[in-house]
Amino acid sequence: MKRLSMVIVALLVVGAALYVFLTRSDTSPGQAPVLAGAPADAAVLVRGEYLTKAADCIACHTVAGGKGQPFAGGVPFKLPFGTIYSSNITADPDTGIGRWTDDQFVRALHDGVRSDGQRLYPAFPYTSYTQLSRSDVLAIKAYLFSLPTVSQPNQPADLSFPFNQRWAMGFWNAAFFKSERFVADAAKPAEWNKGAYLATALGHCAECHTPRNLAFALDKGNDLAGAELQGWRAYNITSDPKAGVGAWSDAQLASYLSTGHADGRGSAGGPMGEAVEHSLQHLKAEDVAALVTYLRSVPARQGKSPIDIDTKAPWAVTASAAAPAGNTAEGHEMGLKLFAAACASCHQWNGKGQQTPYAGLLGTRGVNDPEGANVTQMILQGVNMHVGKNHVYMPAFGKAYTDTEVAALANYVMAQFGNKAGRVTPEMVAEQRTK
C-alpha cells in the first residue's frame, strides 16, 4: 500500500512538472515586421489604432447592428458545447479592463490568461495573438485605453460540464497551444514576412479558414483549407488553383480583401463581410499586397468538399438581363417565382448585377456550392456593410420567407448561376437559422 502511494505521488509530481513545462509562457518581447500603416516612428496611438483595426478587435467585441457600444463586448459565440460571450475591453475600471496592467494585458494576448489568473477560451484568438510583439500589444492597449469607457458587465459563459471549468483549459493549452512570438524567415523577402505577420498574428485568418479537430483545436495539417463558421462557409484560401485562390489574380485577391468584392469571383458577406468592413479595408495598399504575397505561398490543399466552379452556367448565359432562359423553371417553379419577385431587379437573370457589382452571382463560389450554406445565410441575413463610400446592402428575407421558400430559392439560385443541383432542404434552413 505504501509503495502504491509512493507511485501515485511520483506520477502526480511528474504530471504536474510536465503540465508546467508544456504550459510555460514565452516571455520574449518579439520583433514584428514594420507595417506600412504602423511605422515604428509613428505616435503610439496612431500605431495602436491601425493595429487594432488589423486585428479586427471591434468585430468580436461589439454587438452588431447598432445594438451595442464599441468594444463593450456581449457578442455571443455558439459552440457545440454551449455559448460564450465576448468581454468588455473598454477601459472602464469596474466592468472593463481599466485596471489591467501592461503585463496583464500582454499575458492575455500571449498566453490566454485574464488579469484574475483565470484562463480564456480560445474563441478569443490568443492562439494567434501569441505571435504579436509586446510593443504591438501595448500599442493596442494604449489605443483601447484612449477610447470612451463603457460600463457594461460581462455576461458569463453558458457551457456544459466539463467545458465550464476554466482551469481545465490548461490541459488544452498543454496539448494544442504554444506561447511564442513571430520570427521572421530570413530566407523570405520583407514583404512576405509582413504578409505572414498580418495573416497569422494580427489578422488570425486561420481561426476562421482552418478546420478544427474534435477538441476544437486548429487542424494544422489543413491550414486555411476552409471551415464552417456561424453557419457560413469560410472558403479555402490556400494556393490550390481549383479548391483555393491559386487561380485568382493578384488584383482580384487585393480587391476582395480591401473592398469585399472581386469581379467574377464573389462578394463578401457574413463574418468575412465584417472582416472587410472593420479591418481589411483599413489596411494600407502595401500591407494588402504583402498579405496577397503570403497567401500565394500557402501550400495548396483541397480541403473538405472542394467546389467545382462553373463560370459559364448555361442557364444564366442563355438568359438576358431582363428575362430568364426558357428551361429555368423545370423543377424550380417556386424558386423562380421568388427570384422574379424579389431578386431579379438587382442580380439580373444573367447574374451580372445591376446597381452594383457586388450583386454579381455568375462564377461565384457561393452559387457553385451544392450545400448552399452561404447562399442560404445570405438569403436569411442579407448584407449590410460600409466599404469606403459604398453602402453594400441586400435585405434579409429570413422573416419574410418560410424554410421551404428559402430552400427553394437557394436551390434555384445555384441551378441558375452555378449549374448545380442544390441540396438545401427546409430542415437545413431551420438549422441554419439557429447558427
DSSP 198: I
Distance CA(173)–CA(164), nearest Å, equals 15
Per-residue pLDDT for the chain (435 aa), expressed as one digit of tens each? 555 444 444 433 444 444 454 456 788 999 999 999 999 999 999 999 999 999 999 999 999 888 899 999 999 998 888 999 999 999 999 999 999 999 999 999 999 999 999 999 999 999 999 999 999 999 999 999 999 999 999 999 999 888 889 999 999 999 999 999 999 999 999 999 999 999 999 999 999 999 999 889 999 999 999 999 889 999 999 999 999 999 999 999 999 999 999 998 999 999 999 999 999 999 999 999 999 999 999 999 999 989 999 888 887 888 888 887 766 667 899 999 999 999 999 999 999 998 899 999 998 999 999 999 999 999 999 999 999 999 999 999 999 999 999 999 999 999 999 999 999 999 999 999 998
3-state secondary structure of 391: strand
Whole-angstrom distance, CA of residue 218 vs CA of residue 211: 6
| Distance between CA atoms of residues 100 and 336, nearest Å | 57
Supply the pLDDT for residue 326: 65
Backbone angles phi, psi at 358, to 5 degrees: -65, -20
Which residues make Cβ contacts (< 8 Å) with residue 81, sequence separation at least 6? 159, 160, 163
Helices and strands of the chain, counted as H and E runs: 18, 9
Give the Cα separation of 205 and 238 in Å (integer).
11
Q: How many CA atoms lie within 13 A of 200 on its CB side?
A: 23
Amino acid identity for residue 393 in this structure? Y
Nearest Cα neighbor of 277 from 355, 130, 386 is 386
Structure confidence at residue 96 (pLDDT): 98
Domain boundaries, the chain: 32-176, 190-297, 314-432
Number of other CB atoms surrounding residue 238 within 10 Å: 24
Task: Give me the pLDDT at residue 327, please.
Answer: 62
Looking at residue 7, its pLDDT comes to 41
pLDDT value of position 11: 39
What gap in Å lies between CA 60 and CA 275, rounded to an integer? 10
Side-chain half-sphere CA neighbours of 409 within 13 A: 25
Q: Provide the sign of the torsion angle of the four alpha carbons 48, 54, 59, 60, taken in this order.
A: negative
Superfamily of domain 314-432: Cytochrome c-like domain (1.10.760.10)
Instruction: Name the pTM for this structure.
Output: 0.91
Q: Which CATH architecture has domain 190-297?
A: Orthogonal Bundle (1.10)
The H or E element spanning position 77 is: strand 76-79
pLDDT of residue 2: 53
User: Which pLDDT score is estimated for 378?
Assistant: 97
Helix (H, G, I), strand (E, B) or coil at 110: helix
Same fold, 190-297 and 314-432: yes
pLDDT of residue 1: 53
